[in-house]
Amino acid sequence: MLNKNVEKAINEQINKEYFSAYLYLSMAAYCEDQNLTGFANWMKVQFEEEQFHAMKFFNYVNERGGRVILKSLEDPKTDWKNLIEVFEDTLHHEEFITKSINDLMDIAIKEKDHASVSFLNWYVDEQVEEEANVSKILGTLKLIKGEGNGLLMLDKELSVRVFTPPVK
């Protein structure tokens, strides 16, 4: 049986993951509007990943005998001054999600919910990868000042990213 404090915190996290998906889809729309289809593709893959993360939590709550409670999502930001700002916001958001996952892990540890601790380890590792990927793109964008041939090359590079659901 899922600990009630852990269940409540996971339900909050499910909403954060769905908001993340919604935010990345908004960012994809912005990139499409800027004719940067590679960046849009990268954000659409982020959207798919966040949906996967939310459903992984959703399924876990159900497997442990808990109940998922969904809440409404706030409106995501829709406008940015440039791609550097988009990826700065992306990094800040991923750092927020990392803190949220860490807080969730702290609750599971406090409640001695070992199954949830084991489950959450995947998310802890995932967030390291998420922040690293965004930081790399942001660093490149800053290096090329978010413009010119470098921007077009990066856009082309990001166009080949695909979502592959993790096996575990």
- pLDDT for the residue numbered 168: 64
Q: What are phi and psi of 32, to 5 degrees?
A: -60, -45
Q: Is residue 75 part of a domain?
A: no
Is the residue at 97 inside a domain? yes
Q: Quick check: is 166 in a domain?
A: no
Q: What's the 3-state SS for the chain?
A: CCCHHHHHHHHHHHHHHHHHHHHHHHHHHHHHHCCCHHHHHHHHHHHHHHHHHHHHHHHHHHHCCCCCCCCCCCCCCCCCCCHHHHHHHHHHHHHHHHHHHHHHHHHHHHCCCHHHHHHHHHHHHHHHHHHHHHHHHHHHHHHCCCCHHHHHHHHHHHCCCCCCCCCC
Domain count of the fold of the chain: 1
Q: What is the CATH number of the domain that holds 143?
A: 1.20.1260.10
Residue with tokens 């939590």: 57
Range of the structural domain that residue 53 is part of = 4-70+80-158
Q: What is the pTM of this model?
A: 0.95
Q: Is residue 64 part of a domain?
A: yes
pLDDT category at 166 given cuts 50, 70, 90 is confident
In a domain, 29, yes or no: yes
In a domain, 164, yes or no: no
Q: For 61-117, write each residue's pLDDT tens digit.
A: 999 999 999 999 999 999 999 999 999 999 999 999 999 999 999 999 999 999 999
Measured distance CA(35)–CA(38) in Å, rounded: 9
In a domain, 130, yes or no: yes
Residue 165 lies in a domain: no
Which pLDDT score, from 0 to 100, does residue 11 have?
98
